[in-house]
Amino acid sequence: KKKKKKPSSNRTRHPRHHTPMAEQESKRKAWHVPVSVVAARTVNPIRAIVDNIKESNPEKPVIPLSIGDPTVFGNMPLPQLVQDAVAESLHSGRFNGYPPSTGYMSAREAVAKYHYEPTAPLTADDVVITSGCSGALDLAISVLANEGQNVLVPRPGFSLYATLCGSKGIRVKNYDLLPEKSWQVDLEHLESLIDDKTAAIMVTNPSNPCGSVFSRTHIQDIIRVAQKHRIPIIADEVYANMTFSTAAFHSFASLSTDVPILACSGLAKRFVAPGWRVGWVLIHDRNNAFKAVRTGLVSLSQLILGANSLVQGALPRILADTPRDFFRSVMTQIEDTVKMSMTELEKIPGLKPIQPQGAMYLMVGIDPSAFTDLGDDRTFCQKLMKEQSVFCLPAAIFNMPQYFRIVTTVPKDKMESAISRIADFCRQHQKKNVLAEGVE
């Protein structure tokens, strides 16, 4: 008799009947939609502090010395030519569609020509147009650093750096700027922070919040540190050429023969048009180190389908034809206001202003021992607003406690009124011995 074959263990099995999802009882008993990790770790330090500086003196109009927006007071109007360029772009009908993600060729060519230097040549292929300089910084950080790596950032420094890095799980390591040396970088401290997870060094020149401008020699010193450790540089140069008569601007790329640099800039500050939201990343490659980075920037630019198309259409005229007199007028206003501010602030016992060389900011040190009840910069600014309606930013926002920042694009007469109120405020809170003897 033939033996019966045992059923094969490999025989086809019929799948079990599954109850459709719609008929199953959900394990979720109540609505709970969690926020994403990226959103949860995105924190703007300005909000946590500024939201507590709201109450003002109803008997005095508020003088805002806090906002880094040069359009606030209307004292730096755009040249008619610039306005006409945007109007022409609109009425041409040629810039209503989606631009290329990296920007129109005409816009990129104009930026390359505007920033061209013999020691740092550029072509349109080296330019990525972005949504403002903040968009450029976002791209630069995103393309160079991974979650778990770190970026070296100045202290004091623009708070957005920490916000952008934190949202991506990138650690910020702060290197010190030295107020006694006009906010130069503490090179020894900078180098001590570099490790095998350091992805980039962020530099700001001219500086927000300090108003400092690095010399050629100092930039070369910073570049040498980057070159020694093979670390690329992200150069935030949105205040490029916004210097006083005593200083000169030098781009990092113009002084680098070996270190690759991503330079970030835009229309916001020098062209007094922050709301137009057009910036750019300049790819200054060295030794073909940025081959993959160049491709990565193109990929990242595709996340938002391009920056403001109408302003891009006007960019060639704006960059080429804006009268030089406009730039001179803006910087003359700022420098005159700073000179007056330094003279008057230096007379106030307990305060120590640090002389800026450019940009649109002035940092003022606070000696808490000179006052009865102003223990830190946050308290100082909060009470100043409440009592005198003068709104300054506590420099804790920039990781520099016991200082506050003043914006210097304010009309001179308003700045005079603001400093007069600051002087009154300090007198009301000063210790008796300070009033009698002054503070060294």
Per-position DSSP letters for 244-297, written without gaps between them = -TT-----TGGG-SSS-EEEEEESTTTTT-GGG--EEEEEE-STTTTHHHHHHH
206 preceded by cis ω (within 30°)? yes
What pTM, to 2 d.p., does this model score?
0.91
Task: Give the Cα separation of 335 and 411 in Å (integer).
Answer: 11
pLDDT digit string, tens, across residues 344-403: 999 999 999 999 999 999 999 999 999 999 989 999 999 999 999 999 999 999 999 999
Half-sphere exposure of 384 (CA within 13 A, CB side): 31
User: Rounded to the nearest 5°, which phi and psi values hold at 363?
Assistant: -100, 135
* Predicted local distance difference test score (pLDDT) of residue 208: 97
* Predicted local distance difference test score (pLDDT) of residue 52: 75
Q: Give the CA distances from residue 12 to residues 6, 8, 17, 280, 438, in Å, rounded to whole numbers and listed in that order.
A: 14, 9, 15, 61, 95
Would you tell me how many other CB atoms lie within 10 Å of the CB of residue 368? 16
Q: Which residues in the chain land under pLDDT 50?
A: 1, 439-440
Half-sphere exposure of 264 (CA within 13 A, CB side): 22
* Predicted local distance difference test score (pLDDT) of residue 440: 45
Task: Give the Cα separation of 102 and 139 in Å (integer).
Answer: 11
Task: Give the Cα separation of 22 and 165 in Å (integer).
Answer: 41
Residue 264 amino acid letter: C
Q: Give the N- to C-terminal CA distance of the chain in Å, as an integer.
A: 116
Spell out where 321-385 has E strands.
351-354, 361-366
Nearest of 307, 422, 437, 339 to residue 374 by alpha carbon: 422
